[in-house]
Amino acid sequence: MHCRKCHQTAAFNMRHHKLALCQDHYLEWFVAQTQKTIERYKMFGRDDKVLVAVSGGKDSLALWDVLLQLGYQADGLYIGQGIDGGIGYSDLSRQKIDIFIEQHTGVKLHVVDVDQVYGQTIPQVADQHRASKPCSACGLIKRHIMNRVALEEGYTCLTTGHNLDDEAAVLFLNTLRWQTQYLARQSPILEATHPGLARKAKPFCRFYERETAAYAIMRGLDYLYAECPYAVGSTTITYKNLLNELEDAQPGAKLHFYLSFLSARDAGFLDVVTEDVVLNSCDNCGQPTTSPGLCAFCRLWQNRSIGKDTHVIPVSVSLVGTPVMPVGEEIY
Ligand code: Q46
Ligand code: ZN
Ligand code: ZN
């Protein structure tokens, strides 16, 4: 198989696009496609200050790398979850980010270590709440920290490395359960609909996972291959596997599923369910919450004597740049 552009041996074949490319042209294509997605969904421009949530995995590091290549003002945010899982998962992920920073001189990284800031690691919080897995607490805490760092540090857009496989799996799950409120909110760009909400974007939402992996490998990014130990057996993985089977039989099915959904939503298919959500401000942290009183994040720490003092707890560190305060929000 040969590269469509230069006819040298192809390094990567995308059946769904009927497109094979050599390494140089694949890397060029990937960066150009990211820029197209940013423009298509009006995510951000050159004057925006962009925050990239990085985990040490391929998607988030690839996203940061591409945004820097495209010349965006893109800083990183790493949240230390304190997950060991027998492999020292959080330590390993942090090491990968340190390597990235060594290779991309001058970039700025904010670090919020949950244990240092709040006094418990994410698995410890989950244990305290007798949760069988820390994923609910983890998702809540990460969203909360990302939102507040973005707002407090003046970032005009918070980006994550969610790819098409992630988006299609969530869409599949919410469709099967007919979760219309969740469906109405699933989007490549989420506008800030409350003063306490940061604007959010997913510039990789149209890339298959294998495309971001290929980019990371071809660019020589040293990323963490291991998944979070708590991801094993997750519902999302089950849905991803089902969609992969479908994709094998029908190349492009996943992309078509996701893009058709976005078109239907843009055509007003879900308008009827988007009106009802009322956002209150949390009594403690001021971040948006669907229920009156405390947001879910503040309720999580309520018995940990952090409560009102959240804002004055000394903080994490910024590897390069300014310190980051502990933060709070609930993404509704
Ligand atoms: S939620 Fe659960 Fe993930 Fe947090 S505990 Fe690991 S698997 S990292 S996206
Ligand atoms: Zn080529
Ligand atoms: Zn709160």
How far is the C-alpha of 293 from the C-alpha of 282, rounded, in Å?
6
pLDDT at 274 over 80: no
Best residue among 228, 235, 239, 300 to mutate for probing ligand 1, ranked by most atoms within 8 Å of CB? 228
DSSP secondary structure string for all residues of 163-179: -HHHHHHHHHHHHHTT-
pLDDT at 130 over 70: yes
Residue 229 pLDDT: 94
How far is the C-alpha of 90 from the C-alpha of 234, rounded, in Å?
19
Strand boundaries in the chain, DSSP class E: 12-14, 19-21, 49-53, 73-80, 109-113, 157-159, 189-190, 200-201, 280-281, 288-289, 318-320
Instruction: Report the separation in Å between the CA atom of 62 and the middle of ligand 3, taken as the mean of its atom positions.
Output: 32
User: Structure tokens of 311?
Assistant: 């804002």
Best residue among 79, 140, 230 to mutate for probing ligand 1, ranked by most atoms within 8 Å of CB? 230
Instruction: Report the separation in Å between the CA atom of 135 and the middle of ligand 1, taken as the mean of its atom positions.
Output: 5
Task: Return the ligand 1 atom nearest residue 136 CA.
Answer: 1
The mean pLDDT value for 247-264 works out to 97
Give φ, ψ of 253 to 5 degrees: -60, -40
Neighbours of ion ligand 2 (CB under 5 A): 3, 5-6, 22, 25
User: Structure tokens of 42?
Assistant: 């009006």
Q: How confident is the model at residue 219 (pLDDT cuts 50, 70, 90)?
A: very high
Higher pLDDT, 305 or 89: 89
pLDDT tens per residue across span 107-126? 999 999 999 999 999 999 99
DSSP annotation of 79: E
Say which CATH architecture domain 12-274+294-304 belongs to.
Answer: 3-Layer(aba) Sandwich (3.40)
Amino acid code (one letter) for 218:
M
Count of beta carbons in the 10 Å neighbourhood of residue 248? 10
How far is the C-alpha of 36 from the C-alpha of 202, rounded, in Å?
12
Nearest to 280 by CA among 267, 294, 269: 294
Low-confidence winner among 93-97, 127-131, 242-246, 310-314 (lowest mean pLDDT): 310-314
3-state helix, strand, coil in the chain (%, to 5): 50, 10, 40
User: Structure tokens of 176?
Assistant: 């099967």
Domain boundaries, the chain: 12-274+294-304
Higher pLDDT, 168 or 324: 168
Count of beta carbons in the 10 Å neighbourhood of residue 283? 13
Angle between helix 209-218 and helix 58-69 axes, rounded to 10 deg:
60
Residue 291 pLDDT: 84
pLDDT at 93 over 70: yes
Residue 275 pLDDT: 58
Task: Return the ligand 1 atom nearest residue 138 CA.
Answer: 4
Q: How confident is the model at residue 236 (pLDDT cuts 50, 70, 90)?
A: very high
Nearest to 142 by CA among 5, 327, 292, 16: 327
Share of the chain above pLDDT 70, in %: 89
33: helix, strand or coil? helix
Residue nearest to atom 7 of ligand 1 (CA): 231
Nearest to 28 by CA among 219, 230, 183: 219
- Pocket-forming residues, ligand 1, beta carbon under 6 Å: 134-135, 138-139, 228, 230-231
Q: How confident is the model at residue 328 (pLDDT cuts 50, 70, 90)?
A: very low
How far is the C-alpha of 169 from the C-alpha of 250, rounded, in Å?
16
Task: Return the ligand 1 atom nearest residue 122 CA.
Answer: 5
Start-to-end Cα distance in the chain? 47
* Whether the Cβ atoms of residue 149 and residue 112 lie closer than 8 Å to each other: yes
Residue 129 pLDDT: 87
Residue 312 pLDDT: 28
| Rounded (10°) CA dihedral 242, 243, 244, 247 | 130
| Rounded (10°) CA dihedral 192, 197, 201, 202 | -140
pLDDT at 319 over 90: no
User: Structure tokens of 18?
Assistant: 């009927």
User: Structure tokens of 177?
Assistant: 């359960």
Taking the complete model, does pTM exceed 0.85, yes or no?
yes
